[in-house]
Amino acid sequence: MSRNPTTRSIRLRRSVLSVPAINPRALEKTHAVDCDAVIFDLEDSVAPEKKAEARENLRNFFSARPLQGKERIIRINSLSTDFGLADMELVTALCPDAVLLPKVDEPQDVMALSDLLSEADAPEDLRIWAMIETPRGILNAAVIAEAGRTPGSRLDCLVVGLNDLRKETGVLPQSGRSYLVPWLMQVVLAVSAYGLDAIDSVFNDFRNEQGFDAECLQGRAMGFAGKMLIHPAQIEPANRHFGPDPAAIAEAEAIISAFADPASDGLNVINAGGRMVERLHLVQAESLVHKAHLIAARQAAARKTM
């Protein structure tokens, strides 16, 4: 049976900020920003001769003080390299919330990483995120997502990487991403089938606010849970666009109340506010309201620390 919001923990992943582990000042700033998750990058943003220094930066950062209220993900280098194997030693020592595996082409990539984590006695709640950024990764999105159902798999989320995908396919970086939409939807369909999350790709021109807003609206309409970000200025609009709006929250609360009515006992379809609502809508409503509560709780915690 595939996982769904009722069988796995619901997390906020509206804004997923990528931070180069080679930059101590950028690492320190993650304490103050309002993103839902932070990817500590040891891969593309770190030159080969700086990999060891970046790992040491992360070791110091994790030991200094915990990152409160945000999901912590470490993006490692390919496991086919010495860099990747050294990164995994760091991951098992630091125990972040997840490890992000780059350039996942097939489910065996995910299972190999799951096996490594299990062999290292990593906590079961240390999850795997998979970067889907190659033609083979897109073609195999469904079977990669299905790996999340395999016993022992830790797969929790797929992240689309369009920069590498454009480079390998020759698709130009045009506004609207019209030639990329079928591939993006393939990833969304795959995670939806197996109860995972999908994170939309980065928007490179962080000064182009209008273009970023448009891409967030597009990604939300497609069904992405959130967006990978490259600059703190992108956090607020990502949170706004991928978060539940007040009207949607009110509608969800009305659906929950309608099904809580004793008159609805045993019914799979009810009349709620003049429209027919099924129990599948109740599951969606509960998930949305839970996310709204998570957002409110984090905002309240942030106000207390100010």
Show binding-site residues for Mg(2+). 133, 164
The C-alpha R_g of the chain, in whole angstroms, comes to: 20
From 151, 36, 131, select the one nearest 79 (Cα to Cα).
Answer: 131
User: Which amino acid, one-letter code, is at 287?
Assistant: S
- DSSP of 156-171: EEEEE-HHHHHHHH--
Position 22: which residue type? I
Phi/psi for 97 (5° steps) reads -75, -30
SS3 state of residue 200: strand
DSSP 8-state class, residue 219: H
The encoded tokens of residue 233 equal 């200025």
Q: Are 1 and 280 in contact (CB under 8 A)?
A: no
Binding residues for substrate: 75, 133
Cβ atoms within 10 A of the Cβ of 152, count? 11
Contacts 24+ apart (CB under 8 A), 64-70: 65/31, 67/30, 67/31, 67/38, 68/31, 68/301, 69/298, 69/301, 69/302, 70/30, 70/35, 70/36, 70/37, 70/38
- Residue numbers belonging to the annotated binding site: 75, 133, 164
Strand partners, 160: 132
